[in-house]
Amino acid sequence: MEHDIQTFSLVKKFGDVPAVDNLNINVRKNTIYGLVGPDGAGKTTTMRMLCSLLKPDSGTGKIGGHDIVKDSEEIKKHIGYMPQKFSLYGDLTVIENLEFYSEIYQVPKRESKEKIQFLLEFSNLKNHSYKLADQLSGGMKQKLALSCNLIHTPKYLFLDEPTIGVDPVARRELWKILFDLREQGVTIFVSTPYMDEAERCDEIGLMYSGSIIKNDRPDNIIRDFGKHILCVVSDDSYAAREAALGIASAEDVYLLGEELHVISDNIEIIRRELEQLLKSMNADYTINEITPTLEDVFVNIVKSRTEMTYGKRN
């Protein structure tokens, strides 16, 4: 299988603390790869090393066959990178930003004009062309940032948490753009803390403490989870949580919004015990077994990892 983006035992330390620790990633050509993990897992550091913004302490990586340490300047011609923080010129207009990057990437003049018009329409920014970038909303800023990164038609696109601070509608639009780009042959490497976004990727890597602890297609990850989940909705979720925590065979109990999720190998016992407890509390409730979501899997894996490292709490 052809891999477009790869890392080989990539290591980056800040002081003595490894931010990225022996990282190995393989991203297939023409796919969307999602780097998923909690804050501080090393997602941004990984991305910065891939884009040659940081020098790895050891190990290396390849993008389209070029070494990220030795051929960084060659790589830069073919990548787009959208940092987490808005990094365009806020005191330039939308169109000035686009023109600037088109000149920096040496896009031929006629081609550049067409491309800018195309990107403005594609990202719905046409009516805002002469606004200063600082005056745009969060979602529009991200779309502009993406457009500036598409001006030179990159083969590889790196997006560091592109939907932070973006409203749901704009998030959806942004993802639609990513799907379109994949159709056009772009390989996309995206990091996100959002599980619903992770589920849209072709393949995801769960990153924890600087390494990938799970790497697969989202549906495979869910299928391989192998545990059962009870979803309890009641009028007093906190009391229900307290009750569930008291049950010995409950492996994990956590709240996701209004829903209380209880994980166990044998859910029938749990269901009976919970029903009794909730009845005795005179609570209104529903209990259903649900298929795990990526979020459930993620929470469970991260939690068990944390317990491995720091010992069990509660």
Contact of 302 with 243, CB cutoff 8 Å: no
Q: Is the dihedral of CA 149, 153, 156, 161 positive or negative?
A: positive
20 binds another protein per the rule CB under 8 A: no
DSSP 8-state code for residue 125:
-
DSSP 8-state code for residue 132:
B
Q: Which is nearer to another protein, 24 or 93 (CB)?
A: 93
Q: Nearest approach, Cβ of 104 to another protein (angstroms)?
A: 5
Distance CA 187, CA 2 (A): 12
- State which of positions 82-141 bind another protein (CB under 8 A): 83, 85-92, 96, 100-101, 103-106, 132
- State which of positions 62-81 bind another protein (CB under 8 A): 72-73, 76-77, 79, 81
Residue 253, CB half-sphere, CA atoms under 13 Å: how many? Answer: 20
- The pair of structure tokens assigned to 46 is 């990984």
Q: Nearest approach, Cβ of 210 to another protein (angstroms)?
A: 16
Q: Which is nearer to another protein, 78 or 214 (CB)?
A: 78
**Considering only 48-56, 231-239, 245-253, 264-272, which stretch makes contact with another protein by CB under 8 A?**
48-56
Residue 127, CB half-sphere, CA atoms under 13 Å: how many? Answer: 2
- State which of positions 140-159 bind another protein (CB under 8 A): 145, 148
Work out the number of other CB atoms within 10 angstroms of the CB of residue 276: 11
Q: Nearest approach, Cβ of 100 to another protein (angstroms)?
A: 5
Q: Which is nearer to another protein, 81 or 225 (CB)?
A: 81
Distance CA 205, CA 20 (A): 14
Q: Catalog residues that contact another protein under the rule CB under 8 A.
A: 48, 51-55, 72-73, 76-77, 79, 81, 83, 85-92, 96, 100-101, 103-106, 132, 145, 148
